[in-house]
Chain A
Amino acid sequence: DAGVTQSPTHLIKTRGQQVTLRCSPKSGHDTVSWYQQALGQGPQFIFQYYEEEERQRGNFPDRFSGHQFPNYSSELNVNALLLGDSALYLCASSLWDRAPGANVLTFGAGSRLTVL
């Protein structure tokens, strides 16, 4: 049973460019969340998608956008890259329709973005 897969694993961009990261959720999961993890910090929630709609959003600017496809896979787009966007971007999947306390996240290994 495949877990969460992310691509690419590493990439280098320059300031001002745009990047797209991709995520396939764990089989059977319908909800995808994205997290940003700067070096030495814990992951920070960016946003969550369910039924192809953004359901929750963390404290990130509009330069960060996403999409969820009918097969539940997802993309994270970042426009006008800044040096501070350099981080590990983690995708996590879960089930939407779970009772309180029954939900856990399955994370992918992440995409490491370096902005020069």
Chain B
Amino acid sequence: DAKTTQPPSMDCAEGRAANLPCNHSTISGNEYVYWYRQIHSQGPQYIIHGLKNNETNEMASLIITEDRKSSTLILPHATLRDTAVYYCIVNSGGSNYKLTFGKGTLLTVNP
């Protein structure tokens, strides 16, 4: 799996958009960008994933650059409950699906 680089921590004001960047310059053509988050003392939770087009669901939006070397996870209106470690993972997502986690980004949403 391609390696990803994320900032170790970020802050965001409650109600504002949180934009979490991820670099994955060695991503290959069949690899997807996945985002999971882990709230303290819980298991990781799937957020969103995409191949090359921008994606949106009820939790977040994922913007992938045209060259696919980086992406941004957007939480449009961050709440205190969004405080968590966010993991950006590149994976082909097939039957042998296993995730290689880095240290992620600790997002702290402040009141």
List chain A positions with a Cβ less than 8 A from chain B: 4, 31, 33, 35, 40-45, 48, 50, 55-56, 58, 90, 92, 94, 96-110
Contacts and interface: CB of A to CB of B under 8 A. Distances in A.
Interface stretch (B13-21, B39-47, B65-73, B75-83): B39-47
A98 B46 CA distance: 16
Contact of B44 (A99, A101, A107): A107
Contacts of B43: 4, 90, 92, 107-110
Contacts of B94: 98-100, 103
Interface in B79-111: 85, 87, 92-104
Interface residues of B, number: 27
Given A48-B96, A90-B43, A101 B101 contact: no
B45 A107 contact: yes
Interface of B: 30, 32, 34, 36, 41-46, 49, 51, 85, 87, 92-104
A67 B51 CA distance: 33
A42 B34 CA distance: 15
Contact of B99 (A4, A40, A45): A45
Contacts, number: 73
Contacts of B46: 104-106
Given A90-B44, A108-B43, A44 B97 contact: no
Nearest to A108: B43
A97 B43 CA distance: 24
Contacts of A110: 42-43
B2 to A, nearest CB: 15
Given A42-B87, A109-B43, A55 B32 contact: no
